[in-house]
Structure 1
């Protein structure tokens, strides 16, 4: 019988991890890049499944933070999930994900995000789609035709402090965006997105938007367009349009609630909606205790009983009593934890699995819709929950 052991991948075994990742994701690192990875390596974030002492599968748990309803939340980012072909379909990834849930719970990461190679696969483990992006392709002739704005645009280079000050205010208005730090900007943004950054300043000298873009082969690729108000949006689009003599088209990805086509003279541009990242609530009790419910959404406070099914996190599998005060804060009691194979549906206001719960509380889907498609049981409870969860769009302009 083969011996299976799940443990952190020690730094001295990093070469084994890099070899597996390069094979699985079909890329090749130069010796210089391998040394760079070694210097950046965090042993605490990288886990391996070892079979008879050999690395058979791996994943990373990135220590990240995300914005949710204006609050900063600890989040574990699952990345680099890979298995050697000879060990696939042997339950190794299942074991790694199960271990990751325990680790994230211990680390206080109440949420987890990942980019799926296959949505159905990760749904089996409780992750669910939480965001999508709009991809635009705009011919130069159809770009917004806007008059000069009162402010001005300045190229700023890699001014992380300035750009992050704008980004943070913008990102906190969405659910599921990352709270970036200096290292993330250097290693994830500027290292992977070539080009220029330009900032819009209003007449009072306030930096209220930026565009990070690259012009190559007559295409203007906008990596990110961030705006804090309509004036900055107009100023930045005017700036992009002024590149018309050197480009044939503009491409960009935008939040799902973006309304750019409506303001174009001809809105018939190429648009594509792309399901993007998945999320998972790691610890239901702690999550609910931190969640900013709608103030007075319960009508001077109220009580909700919620039955959660979670086959991979036993601490979530059971009945929760949630008492929401008029100020939106909640007191949560894990009234009864049930065996993972239990089908007991004791009297409760609502019942759903962990993935359904995640989609609703991330703001991606509403309780009324989940009740309609029979993923959330309890009509009256669904109406009650509808009033308790604030409405806010989801977005993630990053990748990991």
Structure 2
């Protein structure tokens, strides 16, 4: 096999392999979207002579976390031609991708797994959950009339308002994507079956948006974001207004463990919570350098025990509390120590699980002296991600 990095120069082969593996419709819309994705991505391909045997698509993106921006590689369309499966191609491509991320200063990577065990061996771990509401339209709870109004518009007229609301909201700034202009167009431009609605306040300022589609009698909410309670009421009532024209209302979103059931007299009775995206820390030392450690109460060490696909992460990192915080990699330490895998480390530092949960399930080894310090350093809020790669 010959390993190559490419973008659009092998578009046809890359598209055909992805379409065969993931079985999406082969039409102009999907071809145009895939081409746009490749324009902004690096494709890691394994070629047998001139035939593309396997591929991994890595898209450089930015995520918002702890009021900072982190470079992240979004991994998608991992696929192999059936003739070449089981030959270790994906192993080589994933390793090359991670090495490139490390060299280029990328600290995080996300992906949507077809198999959690398969990607766990590459250092990824479940970090994001999703909740799905699917109920008869007549059972969707109504809201009181809002002070403002809702307008349904086309993409070109609505996109600036959506961007403005995304920038002002803190809802998806705990691990969510910092959406760039091309990403908005990639997701929503030229989507003939998608509708957009904005809520405006009495001063004609946008305060919330709804992106949805209607298919086979189902109102499917793709994205819903509010800056104010009035925006929530206005858009919720807009959804409710479809109860007579649709049979079911479906709404999926990132699960933050606070669903606001207290808002309505009759809360939605059923919902399904499921595991979703995985994440991994590509460069532990660089990630710790940007992590909010100002409130560190005492020095301690983190030892990452095994990371074969990113061996630079293996070892001990001391977090030293001085006048200026120091983070250094050492060969040995006398500091109180947390021993943890790179998979559990991303869950802990992004707030998906607590140190107490990891201790209870015996996923870590930790000096009792530093447990309270770790509790205070790590987030209490669950990470949220709404975008797929």
TM norm structure 1 = 0.88
* SS of match in other structure, 2:299: strand
In structure 1, which of residues 293, 300, 303 is the aligned counterpart of residue 299 of structure 2? 303
In structure 1, what is the equivalent of residue 201 of structure 2? 202
Conserved in 1, the CA contact under 8 Å of 2:70 and 2:107?
yes
Partners of 1:323 and 1:330 within 8 A in 2: yes
Cα deviation, residue 30, structure 1:
4.1
Moved more, 282-291 or 211-220: 211-220
Q: Distance in 2 between matches of 1:242 and 1:266?
A: 17
Name the CA distance, whole Å, in 2 between partners of 1:13 and 1:47: 11
Report if the CA contact (8 A) 1:153-1:198 is conserved. yes
Larger mean Cα displacement after TM superposition, 202-211 or 104-113: 202-211
SS at match of 1:93: helix
Distance (whole Å) between structure 2 residues aligned to residue 10 and residue 172 of structure 1 = 33
- Residue 394 of structure 1 corresponds to 383
How far did 1:346 drift? 8.2
Asked if the contact 1:322/1:333 (under 8 Å) is kept, the reply is yes
Change (3 A) 1:237 1:376: same
After superposition, give the CA deviation of every residue in 1:92-131 in whole Å (9 maximum; x if it has no partner): 1111111111111122110000010101110111100110
3-state SS of 1:245 partner: coil
For structure 1, the 5+ residue unaligned runs are: 338-344
The alpha-carbon deviation at position 224 of structure 1 amounts to: 0.9
Relative to structure 1, the CA distance from residue 99 to residue 84 in structure 2 (aligned partners, 3 Å threshold; closer, same or farther) is same
Q: CA offset at residue 336 of structure 1?
A: 2.6
Residue in 1 aligned with 2:291?
291
Q: What is the match of residue 341 of structure 1?
A: none
Shift of 1:383: 2.9
2:331 aligns to what SS in structure 1? strand
Q: How far apart, CA to CA, are the structure 2 residues paired with 1:11 and 1:150?
A: 49
User: Within 1, Cα distance between the matches of 2:338 and 2:27?
Assistant: 53
* Unaligned 5+ runs, structure 2: none
Q: CA RMSD in A?
A: 2.6
1:377 aligns to 2:372 (yes or no):
no
Residues 7-31 of structure 1: CA distance to partner in whole angstroms, max 9, x if unpaired? 2136443322222222222245347
After TM superposition, give the deviation of residue 46 of structure 1 in Å.
0.8
Q: What is residue 129 of structure 2 aligned with on the other side?
A: 132
- What is the distance in 2 between the residues matched to 1:57 and 1:204? 54
**2:160 corresponding residue in structure 1:** 161
Counterpart check, 1:356 vs 2:353: no
Quote the residue 1:120 is aligned against: 117
| Kept after mapping to 2: 8 A contact 1:213/1:222 | yes
Q: Deviations over 1:142-164 (max 9, x none)?
A: 22232212222222321222101
1:51-200 equivalence runs, <5 A: 51-52=48-49, 54-158=51-155, 159-170=158-169, 173-191=172-190, 194-200=193-199
Q: Aligned pair in 2 of structure 1 residues 393, 190: CA closer, same or farther (>3 Å)?
A: farther
Deviating more after overlay: 274-283 vs 14-23: 14-23
Q: Deviations over 1:320-349 (max 9, x none)?
A: 0113568xx842111139xxxxxxx98751
The alignment partner of 2:76 has SS state of strand
CA distance in 2, matches of 1:42, 1:123: 28
Paired residues, what number? 384
Q: Distance in 2 between matches of 1:332 and 1:46?
A: 34
Local SS of the residue matching 1:246: coil
Alignment of 1:233 onto 2:232? yes
Give a deviation string over 1:325-378, Cα, whole Å, max 9, x none.
Answer: 68xx842111139xxxxxxx9875100110000111121111121121111211
- Go from structure 1 to structure 2 and tell me whether the alpha carbon gap of 1:359 and 1:242 turns closer, same or farther (over 3 Å shift): same
Confirm or deny: 8 A CA contact 2:11 2:35 kept in the other structure.
Answer: yes
* 1:227-265 superposed Cα distances (whole Å, 9 cap, x missing partner): 122222122111221223212221101231342444333
Q: TM-score, normalised by structure 2?
A: 0.90
Deviation at residue 43 of structure 1 after TM alignment: 8.2
Look up the match of 1:256: 255
Which residue in 1 is equivalent to 2:330? 335
Whether the 8 Å CA contact 1:67–1:172 is kept in 2: the answer is no
